[in-house]
């Protein structure tokens, strides 16, 4: 199966392919959705796929909240940078890094889980949540559904926690808008860095890897120009990581996590 779109390279091809790989290679973010709802059976299937992802020490330190209520989706959209597609999508899944379950287990057992206070456990919570959610994204695509991750749900984590009635020791890691893609949306498969820029053999070779960034800037600029988007990849990276002011309020996330019960020592 050609990978021309994935790499923006007409000569790119996959040496191996199957139905699962075809779904993964064709992934794109969807920000405009059709009118039909996501059915209960589809939702059950997405969560089963999510729960089939690996999890560190079988801790399963995540939960997910399915938000269908229109007004709640509008409020969450406002908290997540005013992204209208959150309210327009029929289903918004909010993925929770959830260490609260372990604390409740400890309370019932009359013991403590002091390791939840450390950065390692916070990382496990976020990593396992991401692994689960990505499984759900692939499953959604296989069912003909589109989706897009929403990191801006972390712009106002305390307000989001209040909106969703989160328990202590739990935080919204990101959202995922899900629905039937609107075929009129002008979007394609966004090219990624060449494999030679990200795949190292045995040891890390920054010089060789970075030699491929210039050609990627050209390819992504071509894609962006076609869809009316600005700039090359290098410009995007440097702008997004310019400083605390470019983090949309998330530069204070460590202190917010502590207030929510994830001190991450």
- pLDDT per residue over 74-106, tens digit each? 999 999 999 999 999 999 999 999 999 999 999
Q: In angstroms, what CA-CA distances link 125 with 59, 77, 98, 132, 171?
A: 9, 24, 7, 11, 10
**Average pLDDT score over the chain:** 96
pLDDT of 2 reads 65
Query: CA-CA distance, 177 to 148, in Å (whole number)?
Result: 5
Distance of alpha carbon 209 from the chain centroid: 25
Residue 231 clears pLDDT 90, i.e. is over it? no
Non-local (6+) Cβ contacts of 59 within 8 A are 102, 124, 128
Task: Name the pTM for this structure.
Answer: 0.95
- List pLDDT tens digits, range 164-194: 999 999 999 999 999 999 999 988 999 999 9
What DSSP assignment string belongs to 54-80? --GGG---EEEEEE--HHHHHHHHHHT
Q: In angstroms, what CA-CA distances link 145 with 36, 61, 148, 162?
A: 10, 26, 11, 29
- List pLDDT tens digits, range 12-35: 988 898 999 999 999 999 999 999
Do residues 178 and 138 lie in contact, with contact meaning Cβ atoms separated by under 8 Å? Answer: no
Do residues 28 and 187 lie in contact, with contact meaning Cβ atoms separated by under 8 Å? Answer: yes
Residue 56 clears pLDDT 80, i.e. is over it? yes
- List pLDDT tens digits, range 104-119: 999 999 999 999 999 9
Domains belonging to the chain, first-starting first, are 31-188+234-259 (3.40.109.10)
pLDDT of 118 reads 97
Question: Average pLDDT for residues 125-130, to the nearest whole number?
Answer: 98
pLDDT of 162 reads 98
pLDDT of 1 reads 47
The percentage of the chain sitting over the pLDDT mark of 70, rounded to a whole number, equals 99
């Amino acid at each position: 199966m050609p990978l021309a779109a994935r790499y923006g390279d007409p000569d790119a091809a996959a040496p191996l392919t199957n139905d699962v790989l075809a779904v993964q290679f064709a992934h794109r973010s969807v920000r405009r959705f059709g009118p039909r709802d996501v059915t209960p059976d589809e939702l059950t299937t997405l969560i089963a796929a999510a729960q089939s992802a690996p999890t560190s020490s079988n801790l399963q330190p995540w939960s997910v909240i399915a938000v269908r209520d229109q007004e709640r989706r509008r409020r969450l959209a406002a908290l997540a940078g005013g992204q209208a597609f959150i309210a327009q999508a029929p289903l918004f899944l909010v993925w929770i890094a959830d260490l609260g379950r372990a604390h409740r287990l400890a309370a019932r057992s009359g013991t403590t889980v002091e390791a939840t206070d450390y950065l390692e456990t916070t990382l496990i919570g976020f990593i396992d949540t991401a692994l689960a959610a990505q499984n759900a994204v692939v499953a959604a695509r296989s069912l003909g559904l589109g989706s897009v991750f929403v990191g801006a749900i972390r712009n106002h984590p305390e307000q989001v926690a209040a909106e969703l009635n989160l328990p202590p020791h739990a935080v919204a890691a990101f959202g995922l808008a899900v629905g039937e893609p609107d075929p009129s949306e002008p979007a394609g498969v966004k090219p990624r860095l060449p494999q030679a820029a990200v795949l190292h053999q045995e040891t890390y070779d920054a010089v060789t890897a970075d030699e491929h960034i210039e050609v990627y800037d050209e390819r992504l600029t071509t894609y962006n120009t076609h869809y009316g988007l600005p700039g090359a990849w290098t410009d995007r990276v440097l702008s997004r990581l310019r400083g605390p002011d470019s983090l949309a309020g998330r530069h204070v996330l460590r202190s917010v996590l502590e207030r929510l019960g994830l001190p991450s020592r």
